[in-house]
Amino acid sequence: MSTNKSKLYSIFTSKCPQCREGAFFENKFSFNVLKTTITKTHCPKCNLKYMREPSFFYGAMYVGYGLSVGLAIAIYVISTLFFGLTMRESLVAIAIGLFTLAPWTLRLSRVLWIHLFVSYQKDPNKRVK
């Protein structure tokens, strides 16, 4: 049982938003996009149904878009300020960076999306199934 149940810890360790204990994904993080983004249907601890409604995780695309834009800006700033790359070289660095970090952004966007709609419930008797 985890003693640290902060929302940030739950998001970055991909835990259930309601109990913050159960795993959200079937597999641990890997760079295989097809394998790493498989979401469990229910929380193994509190039995929360992760797919809140049909096509629930389509909304995570907007979160993923925001994450990708933020990463692109960060890569651009780092590549120009610290490495002195030109605009064209920075675009190549952004493309490589976004492609490499795609599995991470896909996972994080899904976890962030469900954390927007399901809040933490400390009392196990009041948890939604």
- Secondary structure, 3-state, 70-97: HHHHHHHHHHHHCCCCCHHHHHHHHHHH
Tell whether residue 118 is a contact of Zn ion (CB under 5 A).
no
Interface mask toward Zn ion for 22-61; x: CB under 5 A: x--------------------x-xx-x-------------
Angle ∠(32,33,37) on CA atoms, nearest 5: 115
Contacting range for Zn ion; rule: CB under 5 A; set: 8-16, 61-69, 81-89, 109-117: 8-16
Tell whether residue 16 is a contact of Zn ion (CB under 5 A).
yes
Nearest Cα to 123, choosing from 9, 16, 5, 19?
19
Tell whether residue 114 is a contact of Zn ion (CB under 5 A).
no
| Site for Zn ion, rule CB under 5 A | 16, 18-19, 22, 43, 45-46, 48
